[in-house]
Amino acid sequence: MSDRPRLGDQIATIKGAIPKMIAGIKELAKAELVPSAKHAGIGGGLFGGAGASAFFAFKCLLWAATFGVANFYHYVAGRDWFTALALAFVTFAVIALVLAAVMGLIGWLQVKKVKMPTATIEETKASISALSSSVTAGLDDVKAEDEARKNPLAQVH
């Protein structure tokens, strides 16, 4: 026939190359996703920390420290007790919201650093395309060999 490799040889080559290709894609994905996962984890943790801090601040800090600040407003600023208590609650609410906003901003900046695994996606697309081309070429070879068996006079030497 011709000097082209036989179909069995091509299939054996493909069988041997696929595990190596998959292992390479796996390593590429791992190298690309680990930094993004780190940023996502830090950002998510900081979002959780912001929520927990805001909750804790509103439940504990406002109740415990508000009375001390209310004393300050009452004795130093000369406010009546009701106004002093209201001002103390507002003061600690603002502090808690500023803390939550700062942690939320830092968390948002961390989440923005999460990147798509573009190299892995491109490599996977290229591998699928190469595999598809190999299968198509193999099918064409099978058809050609089948035609050659059916019509022995059409063989080119």
| Domain annotation covers residue 86 | yes
Q: Dump pLDDT digits (tens) for 65-79.
A: 888 989 999 999 999
Q: Dump pLDDT digits (tens) for 78-101.
A: 999 999 999 988 998 898 899 999
Q: What's the number of domains the chain is made of? A: 1
Q: Who's near 45: CB < 8 A, 6+ residues apart?
A: 107
Domain housing 102 = 7-140
| Domain annotation covers residue 150 | no
Q: Dump pLDDT digits (tens) for 122-141.
A: 988 988 888 888 888 877 88
| Domain annotation covers residue 17 | yes
To the question of pTM greater than 0.85 for the whole model, the response is no
The answer to whether residue 62 scores a pLDDT higher than 70 is yes
| Domain annotation covers residue 77 | yes
